[in-house]
A = this chain, B = another copy of it.
Amino acid sequence: MNYNQCWLNYNPISNYPDKEVLSDIAIFTGVNKSSAIIENAVNELELALKRILNITINRQQHIEDAKQADAIQTGIILMITNSELKDEGFILKQEGNRILIQANTEQGLLYGTFDLIRRIAQGDRIKELDIRQNPKNNIRILNHWDNMDGSIERGYSGKSFFFENEELLVNDRTRDYARLIASVGINATVINNVNVRGAASELVTDRYLDKLRTMADIFEGYGIKLYLSANFAAPIEIGGLSVSDPLDKDVINWWDKCVRNIYSKIPSFGGFLIKADSEGRPGPFTYGRTHADGANMLARALKPYGGLLIWRCFVYNCQQDWRDYKTDRARAAYDNFIGLDGKFDDNVILQIKNGPMDFQVREPVSPLFGALKNTNMILEVQAAQEYTGQQRDVCYLIPMWKEILEFETYSKSGGSKISNIVSGNTYNQLNCGMAAVTNTGNDYNWTGHDLVASNLYGFGRLSWDTELSSEQIAREWILQTFPQDERVHNAVLDILLKSWSVYEKYTSPLGIGWMVNPHSHYGVNVDGYEYDRWGTYHRADRDGMGVDRTVKNGTGYVGQYNEPNASMYENKETCPEELLLFFHYIRYDYRLSSGKTLIQHIYDTHFEGVEDVIKMAKDWEGLKGLVASDIYERVSARFEMQLSNAKEWRDRVNTYFYRKSGKNDEKGRKIY
C-alpha cells in the first residue's frame, strides 16, 4: 500500500483492562437490512478490535425486533432508536456486560462506533460509559483545492488522490479517505478546487457523473456528502450560452437542467461551493447583479433536491495600488456582504474565512461573523498550511481555531461567540458549520508532515465538538497515532501545543502578517508584498511599522466590530498585543506590556523562535527508536527544513528592521 492509515492505524494495546466487556458478539438492529453505513461501521469495529485487542468478533446481524435486541446481555449492540438526539447524534453506554450504541440514524450509529473505537484505541476504560453526543455543527466540510490535472493549489503533500490527467480516481484510497474523515465526524467534502477551470467545469456534466456516482456511493456509506466547486461561468463555457447572468432565463434553465441531471445520477449529492467575483473568477458582478442574485439562482436549482449552495465571501480588490493608504483589504468581506444580510435563500450559506485577510499566522476574527444576523454562515479555516509553514514547518492549528471559536462578537446579548454563530445556535439556523481547506494529498502519510495529520484529525473533532480543548484533541490524536509510550506522548504533545506560537515567533510580528515570498508563500521576504497590488502592507519606515485601521485616524476597519470590541481595538493600550501591528502604526521604541520596546520584542521573539525549533527538533531526536523508523526519519527531515526556514526568517526580519531602525539588539546578538 502506498499510504498509511494515520490515526486509524489501530496499534495493539497490551493489558487492556476492559477486554472482557468487549465480548465477541456484535449485534445490531435496523430497518435497512443492507445499509452500507451499518456494514461499514461493523467492519470498522471488527478491524479495530482485531488489531487493537486481538478480539475476533462473531456477528449476529439484522435483529429487527427491539425487544429481542434488548434481551441480549453481552457484547456491543448497535441500535436504531428514537431518542432525543440530533440526526447524527448518538448514545454510548455500558450496561452490565454490554455496550450499547444508540442513534436515530445509521449515521449516528457510525459516529457512535467510531467514538467507541477511539476510546479503545486510546486505551481508555469503557466501563461505566454513559455518553450522549450531538454534533455542534451540522455542516462539517472539507474543501479540497485539487485540480483535475492532479495538482493541488496550495497543496503540500503530493498530488491529488481524486484526479489525474482530467480523470477521476476511485480506488481503495477513496474508501480509506472516507473512513479517515468519517472517523472524526466530517460529513461533507468538496473534491475540486474553488478556482474551477478547464475540465473541472465539466464535473457537473455526464462526462464525469457516472464515475462521481461511484465515488459518492462510497462516501455515502460513511455519511459523507459529495459537493462540487462549480464554475459560475459554466453556462457560457460549457453550456454554449452567451451570458451567465443569474437573472437570465436561459441561464436559470441551464442550471436547473444541470442540477436535475446531477441528482438523477447522484441522489445523495450535497451541493455547490462557489468562488465568484474573486481574484479573477467570474461572478454576478459582470451583469450588474449582486452576490445574492447569483447565490439564490443556484440555490433554487438545488432546493428541490435538498441541495445546499455555499458561497465564499473571499471577495476583495486584488488590483490595489500600494500608494493608496485608504483602501483596506481587511474591510472587503464586510463591505461586500453586509448589505445583503437577509437576502439569501435559506439553503444558501456564506462561507467566511476566519480572518479578514487570508489565513495568516495571526489575524483578528472576521467582523462579518458579528454583523450578519439573517444569513447562514460557515467558518472557513485552512488546514493546508499555506502561510503557516506549508507542512514543512510543524504548526498545530487547533489552538488558533479555538481562539477564533471562543471570540465573543457581541452581536446578540446573552452570548454570541463565534462557535455559537457558526453552529447556528445564536440565530437558530440549521445550515451552518465549519469548513477546512484540507491539507491532504497522495503522500504516503497523507499530509506531508506526519505531525500535522493532527490538524486534519483536529478539524473533524473540533467541528463536531467545539468545546473540546486543543490539548485533548492533540492527546487523542497522539494516542491513536503512536505506540503506547509516555515519553513519545509527552514529547509530541509538547511539540504540537507550542508549534503555532513558535511559528509566530520567527515569522511576521504582532499580527502584521505577510512578509512572505510572493506566489509560493513559503519563506521570508519582508517587502515581498509591500509594493504590490494585493492590499497586504506593513508600512514599515525608519521610525515604526503597522497599519492604522482605527476609526479615528486610520482605515476605519475597527468600526466593523461591535462594542466593546471596537473600542478595544481602537486604542493601542487596550488592543491585544498580539494584534497590535494589525490595528496600529507603532514606533520601534514603543514599550509593550512586557517592558520591552517593539524592536527588542522583534529581535527577542525571532531569536527565541529559532531556539524553540532547535529544542523541538532535539526533543524529536530523543524519540529515535521509540517511534516507527519511517515516521522518525520523515519528521526529522522536516525539522531540518523548518530550522533552516526559521533561521532565514530570523536573520532577514532582524536585519531588515535593524537596518531600518538603527536600534541595536540589547543582548548584542548577531544581526547582519
Contact = CB atoms under 8 A, between A and B. Distances in A.
B527 A651 contact: no
Contacts of A542: 542, 659-662
A322 interface: yes
B531 A323 contact: no
A525 interface: yes
A526 interface: yes
Contacts of A659: 540-542, 660
Given A323-B672, A660-B659, A672-B323, A531 B525 contact: yes
Nearest to A672: B323
Contact of A651 (B323, B526, B661, B662): B323
A541 B672 contact: no
A543 interface: yes
Contacts of A543: 662
Interface in A312-335: 322-323, 325
A517 to B, nearest CB: 9
A652 interface: yes
Nearest to A661: B542
Contacts of A526: 527, 531
A652 B531 contact: yes
A323 B647 CA distance: 12
Is the contact region of chain A dominated by helix, strand, or loop, or is it mixed? loop
A323 B652 CA distance: 9
A432 to B, nearest CB: 43
Interface in A629-672: 651-652, 655-656, 658-662, 672
A540 B526 CA distance: 14
B525 A672 contact: no
Contacts of A322: 672
Contacts of A525: 527, 531
Contact of A541 (B323, B531, B540, B660): B660
A322 B656 CA distance: 12
A387 to B, nearest CB: 19
B541 A662 contact: yes
Contacts of A541: 658-660, 662
Contacts of A655: 323, 531
Interface residues of A, number: 22
A307 to B, nearest CB: 44
Contacts of A325: 672
A656 B526 CA distance: 13
A540 B656 CA distance: 10
A542 B656 CA distance: 10
A531 B657 CA distance: 13
A658 B655 CA distance: 18
A81 to B, nearest CB: 63
A533 to B, nearest CB: 11
Interface string A505-540: 000000000000000000011110001000000001
A647 to B, nearest CB: 10
A672 B656 CA distance: 19
Contacts of A661: 542
Nearest to A531: B652
Interface in A3-18: none
A323 B672 CA distance: 6
A660 B662 CA distance: 10
A483 to B, nearest CB: 41
A582 to B, nearest CB: 19
A138 to B, nearest CB: 47
Interface string A181-206: 00000000000000000000000000
Contacts of A527: 525-527, 656
Nearest to A523: B531
A393 to B, nearest CB: 19
Nearest to A648: B531
A663 to B, nearest CB: 10
A322 B655 CA distance: 11
A43 B222 CA distance: 81
Nearest to A323: B672
A659 B323 CA distance: 13
Contacts of A660: 541-542, 659-660
Contacts of A662: 541-543
A508 to B, nearest CB: 15
Contacts of A651: 323
A521 to B, nearest CB: 15
A623 B425 CA distance: 71
Interface in A291-326: 322-323, 325
A80 to B, nearest CB: 61
A585 to B, nearest CB: 12
Contacts of A531: 524-526, 652, 655-656
Nearest to A539: B659
A526 B652 CA distance: 15
Nearest to A671: B323
A527 B672 CA distance: 15
A71 B526 CA distance: 79
A67 to B, nearest CB: 74
Contacts of A652: 531
Nearest to A652: B531
A150 to B, nearest CB: 23
Contacts of A524: 531
A435 B295 CA distance: 62
A328 to B, nearest CB: 16
Which of A531, A662, A672 has the largest count of B CB atoms less than 10 A from its CB? A531
A543 B660 CA distance: 9
16 contacts: A322-B672, A323-B651, A323-B655, A323-B672, A325-B672, A524-B531, A526-B527, A526-B531, A527-B527, A531-B656, A541-B659, A541-B662, A542-B662, A543-B662, A659-B660, A660-B660
Given A525-B527, A531-B656, 17 more contacts: A322-B672, A323-B672, A525-B531, A526-B527, A526-B531, A531-B652, A531-B655, A540-B659, A541-B658, A541-B660, A541-B662, A542-B659, A542-B660, A542-B661, A542-B662, A543-B662, A660-B660
In order of increasing CB-CB distance, the 6 nearest A-B pairs are: A541-B659, A527-B527, A323-B672, A542-B662, A542-B542, A531-B652
